[in-house]
Chains A and B, each alone.
Chain A
């Protein structure tokens, strides 16, 4: 069992938006009831939201060897249908307010504003015995590619996080990240491991209700992606009086040097901890952290490997680089390195394909003191407000929707350029891709160019495209 809820029965597990408190003991009772409706190990989709029902489903399924596949409850309907068709889950755990989408199926149980829906599938694909959890790699494009996480992966990463953040039962984190997202899940995992509390809210930083919840329910920590920190700065976070809030964690992409420095300084001057971290879904969640005492001294660094993990850097030939300040691909070794990917139902029975070693695809260097820095990226994806968006996938989506079109996606984190050779389609493409990915259109720039620059073998010449950047 992943979490022994009854061990902390008098602790508060969840504080809802209304302020209603749910103890670990109550969670235990709710969980025992829910599990009775799923008689055997099988695949179940969770349509995630930051609400009690969502967490209840997740905790219950993992504790009882039912394998959840986590998707955003707001995932576009066509994408969700395709995922269901591909992986054929036995059940869906969905918010009651979204139930309209699943009228064809039978509801067999309701609890905490969620319902358990039985599909027509019955253990269609066999599940590897180590398989615990499935997460999308690029959630927003509805990619079929999933990360396969094992029970050992989750357990070991959770223990490392508890250790390096010194988490205790007196912690109380407020949900600032979605629950289908590995960073959001890691906060739930690590807090439930020590009997700490979670304030669950669907409100965003841009709503006053969020700030009331944070203050009234005395949140002690919050986590954010780089964009969260931009918003906090805009909201003049540094001037707010938040005596209970002690820890700020950051992951989900590279924070600008400027913001790193400002938050590190603020934390230093106000007796708070600012912890920059680095990870990937492929490593369950976390691979490194910058100890808060070093946050001002090592600005821009992702820190040190987490307890139990180990980094190395290799050159193009795969040889280990031992000289400091020399860039190469970052390799991580640890028990939290996931089993591998799945791209179709039959992949769910696959064994461990990585054996504890992950080629991160990130280019890094290490300084004389052993602190790591990310300096680039090997793979073609962008981080858009914390989520990975694969550029080849967005190109494919556009080409499928708009026939006879050539297009290339490129750009920076939080800002994607889409170049197309067809005139007057810019706005249609913009609306399409923003709707498909669920990412605000502000983050995309669609530009017409007469021809996409390619070499003789048809490969896109990306450096040439940079000339068209604004």
Chain B
């Protein structure tokens, strides 16, 4: 599985949505991505890529696209 596939899968599974729906997705745009869902998403990504995210990155993780930039800081290339 590529990093992008892994990344997308974390969104699909956490929010119970399709890969199509992840495109351009933003925090609170769907009811599942609330603060409870956000905690689960971060945990899923940390597991998937074996990283530990900083507070500033957790609270800056505001969209599907923004998350890709943030993961790059942890040497995870999601392109």
Contact = CB atoms under 8 A, between A and B. Distances in A.
A188 B60 CA distance: 29
Interface string B33-55: 01111111010000000000001
Nearest to B40: A442
A230 B42 CA distance: 14
A239 B60 CA distance: 18
B59 interface: yes
Judged by DSSP, the binding face of B is helix
Contacts of A234: 39, 42, 58
A64 interface: no
Interface residues of B, number: 19
Given A434-B31, A435-B31, A231 B39 contact: yes
A284 B55 CA distance: 36
A440 B30 CA distance: 10
Nearest to A438: B31
Interface stretch (A34-42, A129-137, A201-209, A335-343): A201-209
B31 A206 contact: no
Interface in A199-243: 204-208, 210-211, 227, 230-231, 234-236, 239-240
Nearest to B33: A440
Nearest to B28: A204
Given A236-B55, A240-B55, A441-B16, A204 B62 contact: no
Given A235-B59, A240-B55, A230 B31 contact: no
A29 to B, nearest CB: 33
A385 interface: yes
Nearest to A202: B28
Contacts of A239: 55
A443 interface: yes
A431 interface: yes
Contacts of A431: 16
Given A431-B16, A442-B14, A208 B56 contact: yes
Contact of B59 (A211, A427, A434): A211
B65 interface: no
A447 to B, nearest CB: 16
Interface in A405-461: 427, 430-431, 434-435, 438-443
Contact of B32 (A205, A211, A235, A441): A441
A438 B39 CA distance: 17
Contacts of A207: 27, 59, 62
Interface string A163-201: 000000000000000000000000000000000000000
Contacts of A434: 31-32
A206 B39 contact: yes
Contacts of A204: 34-35, 38
Contact of A206 (B16, B32, B56, B58): B58
Contact of A440 (B27, B37, B56, B62): B37
Given A227-B36, A231-B39, A440 B58 contact: no
A181 B1 CA distance: 45
B55 A235 contact: yes
**Which of the listed residues A206, A207, A435 has the most CB atoms from chain B within 10 Å of its own CB?**
A206
A438 B35 CA distance: 12
B48 to A, nearest CB: 17
A110 B62 CA distance: 32
B27 A206 contact: yes
A443 B36 CA distance: 9
A227 B36 CA distance: 8
Given A204-B38, A230-B39, 13 more contacts: A204-B34, A206-B27, A207-B27, A207-B59, A231-B39, A234-B39, A239-B55, A240-B55, A427-B16, A431-B16, A434-B32, A440-B36, A441-B32
Interface of B: 14, 16, 27, 31-32, 34-40, 42, 55-56, 58-60, 62
Interface of A: 204-208, 210-211, 227, 230-231, 234-236, 239-240, 385, 427, 430-431, 434-435, 438-443
24 contacts: A204-B34, A206-B27, A206-B39, A206-B59, A208-B59, A208-B60, A210-B59, A211-B59, A230-B39, A231-B35, A234-B42, A235-B55, A235-B58, A235-B59, A427-B16, A431-B16, A438-B31, A440-B31, A440-B32, A440-B34, A440-B40, A441-B16, A441-B32, A442-B14
